[in-house]
Amino acid sequence: QYIRRKRKVVVLIGAGVSVDSGIPDFRSQVQSSLTSNTKNGFFSIIKDYLPSRYTAEDIFEYSVFLENPSLFYSSIKHILVGIHSSGYYLLDQAKPSLVHRWLQTLQEEEHNLQHIFTQNIDGLESCIPAPVTNLHGVLSTGHCLKCK
């Protein structure tokens, strides 16, 4: 009720918001509140697939991408079509979580969301009728660096 009464609300959200949509966060083991399953973070999932000289964090470093783009592309498939402890998921079939739906309802009823800043790259915040800044981009809008 506190947030509903506010006239101007700005929201900053991260990967934990999408865990209940079946999308792992990046760095931790997390407990899904909907399924009670523990899910490994993306970095933990892909570490066994990487050459030993690279860390999971390296796949998102621009210099590493320029040096070895196939490292990024072979790793990112684990986000697009993920395999983790709860089974398979397809990013493009993920549904907004309870938090996404609550923010959507809040905006539709109160019209007080001024802006949403998200660290997520899954694009699920697009269901919320408010301005969204994707701080790390969105996988669905990626493009070739040469083609632009």
**Residues with catalytic function:** 136
Reading the block at residue 17, the tokens are: 């918001």
Radius of gyration of the chain (CA): 17
| CB contact burial 76-100 (16+ within 10 A = b; e otherwise) | bebbeebebeeeebebeebebbebb
Reading the block at residue 97, the tokens are: 């979580």
Give the CA distances from residue 89 to residues 24, 108, 131, 132, 140, in Å, rounded to whole numbers and listed in that order: 10, 29, 27, 25, 16
